[in-house]
Structure 1
Amino acid sequence: MIRSPERPLPFAPGPARARRAARRSLSLAGVAALALASSTCAPPVQGGSVVVSSGAAGRLGMLCRWGHGGGEQGELCPPAEIAARPSRVRRITGPADALSGPLAAGRRGDYVLENDEIAVVVDQLGPGAGLAESGGHLIDAADARARRDELGQIVPRIGAPPRQVLYRDIATGAGEDSAAWIEARGEVRGRELAGGALSVTTRYTLGPRDRAVVIATSVQNDGDRPVEALDLGDVVHWGAAEHVAPGVGPGHRGEHEAPYLAGIGAGVAYVLAPADGATIRARSGAGFSDAAFARQVALPPGGRAAYARVLAIAPRGDSLAAATEHFFLGGGAPGGVALELVDARGAPLPPIAGKATLTPIAEQGAAPAGGALDLWLRTGEDGPLAAEAPPGLYLVGFEGSGRRALASARIRIRAGEIAPARLALSGAGQLDIQLQERGAPSPAADPDLLGPLTPAKVSLFDAATGKAVSPPRLSLTGELQIPLPPGRFRVVASRGPEYALAEATVDVADGSRSRLDLTLERVVDTSGYIACDLRQHTAQSADAGVDTTARIVSNTVEGVECAVTSEHNLALATDLRRDIAILRLESRLRVLPGVELTSGRSGAGIGSLSVFPLGAEAAAPREGALRWVDEAAGEILREVRALPGERVVQVSRDHGGGSPLHGGGSPLHASGAPQGAPDQGPSLLAQVVGDGAGADAVEVWTGREAAARDRALEELWALLRASRPVTPTATSDTHGLHGAEAGYPRTYIAVAGDDPGRLDVADLVAGLRRRRDVVITNGPFVTMRLGDTRQGGVASARRGSRGGPLSLSIRVERAPWVDARELHVLVGGVASGAPIPLEGARTTPAGALLDEVEIPIVLGAAGGRRPPRQGARAGGALGDGERGAGQTARGAISVAEDTFVVAIVRGRRPLEPVLTGEPDGILPFAMTAPLWIDADGDGRSLGRAAAP
């Protein structure tokens, strides 16, 4: 919505008559007109609109807006006898003023905007929280009674590529009709503005009875040149809430268009919608949505534009609450559904925990609006369970607490009426699982505790359809009691790629308990290496909603032995040693505190830098010594290197699932060189890599971004050919749990002692910075050596070996469930020949599949070395009749000039059932670090010195 500055915006507080006129728009006018108090509504029992009620009066009261209704809604509730208190705005002075919850970021000095229904927090001026580069943004939001925040943050985005606003001033006040507001004013600057400068004002307004805050942003071009093609919107980091939209499933990634976006938390739901009732065009990724409310806006000098949206807060965490909230804001009169749960004989059941699903039914050939809506029932008392819902025709089902509905109920919900849904449920089943572990040392049991731990992830699938019946269960003790409805299930226990699967098919009978014993066996030998995930996030980051305990457990059950918590722009690193000790995991997992410094300003163009390990020398969040706003990469590096101690600096790349607030562009080609053009000279990334004081590692593989990984490898080859040695790494960059599992992919780092409980952190840092002996993988374990030189090192030509063959030895080992079909050997970044088939030729005594490949290498061979073909695909095969760089007719590889060799393993079968999702994102892949070859014997190769 774009409006001239002379015309008032529809969300500005105004007289009641004006609000009623704008009743159908999703604005503050519409919100306030529909929020009249009532003293007769039934009190919430489950922290939301699901209430237990009896009798006609109670059922009518249930349909009030969680204690509210309005005449314009069809007189669902009597008019208010007591006027609502005005909205308030104040500064946080202590913990009692702030919100609570896993993502609550408000601190002393931040602003709270609240009424008797909801509360939001806008942070004060100065360094921002999370990915925001300044204060002035909405960082917390909650129901006013529960006061539990699950939202990350909402950051206005101006332009494409997205630019943030640096707010310089904040004002507060009260408006008409007892509304209150916070206004932040600032500016946007950037090279793409071509000399223009944008001033930006964002106002947050809350009426006295509203469950939604209106966010209005205006933009003015203060420069002397026009600014073209501005996209105006918000980047929403959902935090602990799972993002959904009508017709879009949970966790959707990619572009979509919808009337609203929603985040579903455990006890609250958030709804973001345009104030004019239009649709939102959004791009969503892991934990974020980039929403555009106006696209391709052109601003002449002095020109202005504005857009407005509402953030509604429903006090229950399910998609039915979000859909009802949006429907109500649009002027709709809700109805309700009352659930009566009975057993197979018709005897009433007490309210039980579970999920009721309302699936819209198309009528008269019309498609139903949106998809199925979930209603989560978490607690209850005797009596029917009821909740608000938009009118329509639905099929109602139920599953939970080991029961499922024997048949669906068909109901019609009408405005102001309650539709009863009687569901007969099966008997409650249960599956008891006991796990044990073989092949790996287990810590001795503490006699005062429960005994040895057996970490595992347990996935359950319908045996007939193969469909997952629930998210995987994570266990540290190896004991699980899982409520399940009657049926046949496939049970799969896993512990990361070093372990074979333990699986079985089991029948759960109606109303009975079944038992299953499984044994996990470690089969892959990774001696001398420690399995690390070098970038992941907890609830300390604005865009992640995983608490520290869940993050620790998720690493342990996936076999991660060393993890780095790289929270966004926090100078106070997250130290989890105490939490690990409480869970008795000191011998299995080491977590290193780190920080991810992300700035899209000043043309830094490298995405972000991860720095670890950090310690007590770092200051408090948002007040740290590590500056990042308006800092170029070189400036950040100099500041990091000035800190006491030795640490790793990793270029953590922007990728398809990452936040659009990261620095844009390809790090290697930020200087303007075209994608795919190698050997173009030092790029921006090359300028901060490989000189001893620059970045030590480059993240070439992030999460499930396989296509981005293959592009990044081409950039890595060009970087290495330009004599910029660097360590390649792979990270999960996980912000959640399921669908972004810790350790997929991971980086194995060669260390002197691979026991996580006795890890020498200095040795690990040296391994990444100097030895560079790593393996990046999501499944296969591949290592390589040339003579007595391992990957990461430099093999020098000796007088006696020049012209004579050496053996390039490659070993590929994997658990039976991990597929590995092809071995690609790259010389100088170019495939040296056709892929070598892998068949798992041998089985190790532990049970792993093993291939060992020997390839002759001839140093200084006559005839010289053919230069690498330009633009060859990473890991690609050469066609018939072609030879790779330096390949001889005998199959040996001849090398006459300094170069590097890399081994890559690819599989064709996805890593199911341990991982689920798009097949391309979970295909097996592994790669060694480069092995540099000093062909001329001068002790150096492409900027890398041979060991003495």
Structure 2
Amino acid sequence: MPASPFTTLLICLIFAETVASAEPLIITEQLVHLRHSGDREWATFPEQAQDKELLLRFNAESNSGETALFLRQQDVKQTWNIELNGKIQGKLVRQEQDQQLLIPVPPETLKTGVNELRIYQSGKITPDDIRVGEIVLLTDPASEFLSESQLSIKVTDKETKQGIPCRITIVNAEGTLVVSSAESDEHQAVRTGVVYTRDGKTQVELPAGEYTVYAGRGFEYGVDQQHLILKKGDKKKVELEIGREVDTSGYVSCDTHIHTLTHSGHGDCSLKERLLTLAGEQIEFPIATDHNKQINYEPLARELKVRQYFTPVIGNEVTTKWGHFNVFPVREEGPIPDYQLSAWDEIFESILTTPDVQAVILNHARDIHSNYRPFGPKNHLSLTGENLDGWRLQANAMELINSGATQTDFMQLYHDWFGMLNRGVFLTPVGCSDSHDVSRYIVGQSRTYIQSDAQDPGKIDASQTIQNFVDGKVLVSYGLLTQMKVNSRYGPGELVPPAKEYTVSLTVSGPSWVNAAQIQLYANGQLIRSEQIKSRECGGVKWQGTWQVVLPSHDCFLVAVATGPGVSAPYWQFAKPYQPATPEFESQVVGSTGAVWIDVDGDGKNTTAFEYAERLVKQHAEDLNTLLKHLDGYDQAVVMQVAGLLKARGLKPFDPKLTKALRETSKTVQLGFALYGEAWRASQIARRTN
């Protein structure tokens, strides 16, 4: 394989001017695809890996002083050790992004003659396709390698011309995140290729080379960039300017799911680093949710001089064997919900009797934790929101997009949510990050916009904002923002009075570095309209449209969902699914509304599909043919709820009596029962086989 541009650039720019007793040693120019065992993790990798581990032998001289290994890694999810002559020197960084790694080699580690470098997966062996290579053994300590040039970076706000909290990303000519001398302190949070700075200023030392520097501040801001070449001895300045591109007037940005290494014990983000990343990603209403702990961000935020950028709320991720639930607000020194209980009724009683709690979020309902998947087919029938164990979900919100634990099919949790709303369980939709890290999973990458009149992010009325959250007055953002007004007035969390016709006005917004491709409108979870978007390239409004829609002749809810290609740029790259269902995956940006309720029947309340179904079954339970005939005036959501109620009464989906009666009904009714029957059958199989 010919030398990659990375290695060629490394040789030409880094070592051309180096004066040393020995030349740096290129151990391998290749990037090698490794997988210890199992099927391939992602379809972007070949079916067969090149090897289970990387084993390289090379000739060298013994080292009396410290040297370093310089290498490149991609798509690392599990633990991989780096071993030199039988001793572990470090580990690959658990990070999917393409990045450099610099590993110090202590004195006397190398020996004169043949040396052996081994990179191998350790711990619990889970399929993990990675690439690693382009390995160079340096002759000098890592500190000297990193001090070849100096770069001063200043980022200002376009409007105020003042320094601004932001994320600075530095990559080389291949788009690889680069190592630098920068370290975390009270002013900045640093990882390979990434610096979060509280005032837009940082200074880094870098090896000589070709670089691109990016500056951004989360979803609402544009990205500025500058390309430069640094030679040995250079001291250069980079000045970048970013401005707000997405109008979020009337809303505050919230991440309801945030962790720290300090208090949750895993990930890599200290409490200090977390507060700097919140300011850098422009999260105005962060909820502290370390596992079974209640942490107050307020004192340290003031000490670090970032409190003016957000209003923190104390929460808790109640982490049980039967699901994870984010709850807020809670008291810092108050009682902690009992997370060791063994059933939902007990868990929710403990949560709901905790002082001050208003919001209770069901987290990542499709993920397996402690061998339990809350909304897996063994426990839950998604189409109708039925818990198959007889447990009652007493949450009032639900994560739909968790950017730290995305789903292969992002719509799966939306369909689960639709089923719960149709069942009569009112859940506020949530976007969040579940971030435990500085950079691996970006805090606030998915977020919830909550309706608020606040003009100052440091002075948000927490009580009113939390109430608006509970009332469903929210938007869910993962790279896009979708807003909806029905009949020019009513938005998410509101009830639209009956009207002769219904007009839906939609706006899709995003920054200049994101594109929208499609907008869809759902009524009671059924797709009723879809349109391709020709996305505007500038930041701000990507698309606007007004639709006249025909709704069912009964109450329903409307939800709009916009999508587009996912972000692959190094300054805000989307993560792959946490527990993938298939090796095939294509990331998408998403922006969706909360539910807007339509009071078609004019009784002054939002009557659910389950309530309509319950009335019909009670009225016509003794006459199946009459019951099915009355269903002709209802949508598929009501039909499926009726199917569920009949099953509960003993009339199972494939009972010959039901099958015969359905032959005389409309296609809509037949399809609703067929869909319910297939979903019920899948759940029965899951319960028998698990």
Query: What is the TM-score normalised by the length of structure 1?
Result: 0.49
Q: What is the SS of the residue equivalent to 2:504?
A: strand
Q: CA deviation at 1:761?
A: 1.2
What residue in structure 2 maps to residue 466 of structure 1?
175
Q: CA deviation at 1:591?
A: 2.2
Q: Aligned pair 1:916/2:578, yes or no? A: no
CA distance in 1, matches of 2:478, 2:354: 33
Q: Deviations over 1:41-71 (max 9, x none)?
A: xxxxxxxxxxxxxxxxxxxxxxxxxxxxxxx
CA distance in 1, matches of 2:357, 2:460: 16
Q: CA deviation at 1:758?
A: 1.0
Amino acid at match of 2:168: V
Q: What is the SS of the residue equivalent to 1:518?
A: strand
What residue in structure 2 maps to residue 235 of structure 1?
none
Q: Aligned pair 1:592/2:249, yes or no? A: no
What residue in structure 2 maps to residue 724 of structure 1?
425
Q: Aligned pair 1:456/2:166, yes or no? A: yes
In structure 2, do the counterparts of structure 1 residues 371 and 791 end up closer, same or farther at CA, with 3 Å as the change threshold? farther
Contact kept in structure 1, 2:360 and 2:395, CA below 8 Å = yes
What residue in structure 2 maps to residue 618 of structure 1?
334
In structure 2, do the counterparts of structure 1 residues 377 and 738 end up closer, same or farther at CA, with 3 Å as the change threshold? closer
Contact kept in structure 1, 2:567 and 2:589, CA below 8 Å = yes
Q: What is the SS of the residue equivalent to 1:895?
A: coil
Pick aligned residue for 1:743 from 427, 444, 447 = 444
In structure 2, do the counterparts of structure 1 residues 709 and 355 end up closer, same or farther at CA, with 3 Å as the change threshold? farther
CA distance in 2, matches of 1:761, 1:355: 50
CA distance in 1, matches of 2:533, 2:71: 51
Q: Deviations over 1:682-736 (max 9, x none)?
A: 6569822xxxxx3110112212513253211111111111122210101111111
CA distance in 2, matches of 1:516, 1:652: 41
Amino acid at match of 2:172: D
Q: Aligned pair 1:809/2:517, yes or no? A: no
In structure 2, do the counterparts of structure 1 residues 757 and 391 end up closer, same or farther at CA, with 3 Å as the change threshold? farther
Q: Aligned pair 1:667/2:359, yes or no? A: no
CA distance in 2, matches of 1:390, 1:681: 68
Q: What is the SS of the residue equivalent to 1:567?
A: coil
Q: CA deviation at 1:336?
A: 10
Amino acid at match of 1:614: V
Q: CA deviation at 1:789?
A: 0.8
Q: Spell out the pairing of 1:136-285 with structure 2 (5 A cutoff).
A: 257=36
What residue in structure 2 maps to residue 530 of structure 1?
252
CA distance in 1, matches of 2:541, 2:466: 31
CA distance in 2, matches of 1:851, 1:371: 53
What residue in structure 2 maps to residue 356 of structure 1?
69
In structure 2, do the counterparts of structure 1 residues 377 and 852 end up closer, same or farther at CA, with 3 Å as the change threshold? closer
Q: Spell out the pairing of 1:312-331 with structure 2 (5 A cutoff).
A: none
What residue in structure 1 maps to residue 228 of structure 2?
506
Instruction: Give the number of the structure whose alpha-carbon radius of gyration is greater.
Output: 1
What residue in structure 1 maps to residue 552 of structure 2?
895
Pick aligned residue for 1:432 from 120, 128, 152 = 152
Q: What is the SS of the residue equivalent to 2:240?
A: strand
Q: Spell out the pairing of 1:768-917 with structure 2 (5 A cutoff).
A: 768-770=469-471, 772-787=472-487, 788-797=489-498, 801=499, 804-840=500-536, 847-857=539-549, 893-916=550-573
In structure 2, do the counterparts of structure 1 residues 592 and 805 end up closer, same or farther at CA, with 3 Å as the change threshold? same
Q: CA deviation at 1:749?
A: 0.7
Q: Deviations over 1:514-534 (max 9, x none)?
A: 111111111211011111110
What residue in structure 1 maps to residue 342 of structure 2?
631
Amino acid at match of 1:580: A
CA distance in 2, matches of 1:638, 1:460: 49
Q: What is the SS of the residue equivalent to 2:264?
A: coil
Q: What is the SS of the residue equivalent to 2:373?
A: coil
Q: CA deviation at 1:395?
A: 8.3
CA distance in 1, matches of 2:516, 2:342: 43
CA distance in 2, matches of 1:466, 1:630: 48
Contact kept in structure 2, 1:587 and 1:756, CA below 8 Å = yes
Q: CA deviation at 1:943?
A: 4.9
Q: CA deviation at 1:895?
A: 3.1
Give unpaired runs (5+ residues) of structure 1. 1-246, 250-255, 259-280, 285-322, 325-334, 342-350, 360-368, 397-406, 412-419, 443-451, 689-693, 858-892
Q: Aligned pair 1:678/2:375, yes or no? A: no
Amino acid at match of 1:699: E
Amino acid at match of 1:455: P
Query: What is the TM-score normalised by the length of structure 2?
Result: 0.65
Q: CA deviation at 1:378?
A: 9.4
CA distance in 2, matches of 1:493, 1:850: 22
Contact kept in structure 2, 1:565 and 1:574, CA below 8 Å = yes
Amino acid at match of 2:148: A
Aligned residues: 507
Q: Deviations over 1:170-191 (max 9, x none)?
A: xxxxxxxxxxxxxxxxxxxxxx
In structure 2, do the counterparts of structure 1 residues 911 and 434 end up closer, same or farther at CA, with 3 Å as the change threshold? same
Give unpaired runs (5+ residues) of structure 2. 1-31, 42-53, 73-80, 91-100, 119-133, 180-192, 577-584, 610-690
Q: CA deviation at 1:910?
A: 2.3
Q: Spell out the pairing of 1:363-512 with structure 2 (5 A cutoff).
A: 385-387=107-109, 393=115, 428-439=148-159, 453-463=163-173, 465-470=174-179, 471-512=193-234
CA distance in 2, matches of 1:821, 1:428: 44
Amino acid at match of 1:932: W
Q: What is the SS of the residue equivalent to 1:910?
A: coil
Q: Deviations over 1:505-556 (max 9, x none)?
A: 1121221111111111112110111111101111201333321100111111
What residue in structure 2 maps to residue 928 of structure 1?
593
In structure 2, do the counterparts of structure 1 residues 785 and 395 end up closer, same or farther at CA, with 3 Å as the change threshold? same
Contact kept in structure 2, 1:609 and 1:652, CA below 8 Å = yes
What residue in structure 2 maps to residue 752 of structure 1?
453
Amino acid at match of 1:563: P
Contact kept in structure 2, 1:430 and 1:483, CA below 8 Å = yes
In structure 2, do the counterparts of structure 1 residues 663 and 614 end up closer, same or farther at CA, with 3 Å as the change threshold? farther
CA distance in 2, matches of 1:835, 1:371: 54
CA distance in 2, matches of 1:391, 1:897: 82
Q: Deviations over 1:860-901 (max 9, x none)?
A: xxxxxxxxxxxxxxxxxxxxxxxxxxxxxxxxx333111111
CA RMSD of aligned residues (A): 4.1
Contact kept in structure 2, 1:497 and 1:818, CA below 8 Å = no
Pick aligned residue for 2:324 from 596, 603, 608 = 608
In structure 2, do the counterparts of structure 1 residues 838 and 379 end up closer, same or farther at CA, with 3 Å as the change threshold? closer
CA distance in 1, matches of 2:149, 2:310: 35
What residue in structure 1 maps to residue 636 of structure 2?
none
CA distance in 1, matches of 2:430, 2:33: 33
Q: What is the SS of the residue equivalent to 1:597?
A: strand
Contact kept in structure 2, 1:701 and 1:708, CA below 8 Å = no
Amino acid at match of 1:612: F
Q: CA deviation at 1:432?
A: 1.2
CA distance in 2, matches of 1:390, 1:630: 60
In structure 2, do the counterparts of structure 1 residues 710 and 685 end up closer, same or farther at CA, with 3 Å as the change threshold? farther
Contact kept in structure 2, 1:779 and 1:926, CA below 8 Å = yes
Q: Which has the higher helix share?
A: 2
In structure 2, do the counterparts of structure 1 residues 511 and 497 end up closer, same or farther at CA, with 3 Å as the change threshold? same
Q: Deviations over 1:454-508 (max 9, x none)?
A: 2111111223x22222431111121121212222211110101100111111121
Q: Which fold has the larger relative contact order, with Cα–Cα distance below 8 Å and residues 6 or more apart in sequence?
A: 2
Q: CA deviation at 1:748?
A: 0.7
Amino acid at match of 1:428: E
In structure 2, do the counterparts of structure 1 residues 931 and 672 end up closer, same or farther at CA, with 3 Å as the change threshold? closer
Pick aligned residue for 2:285 from 562, 577, 588 = 562
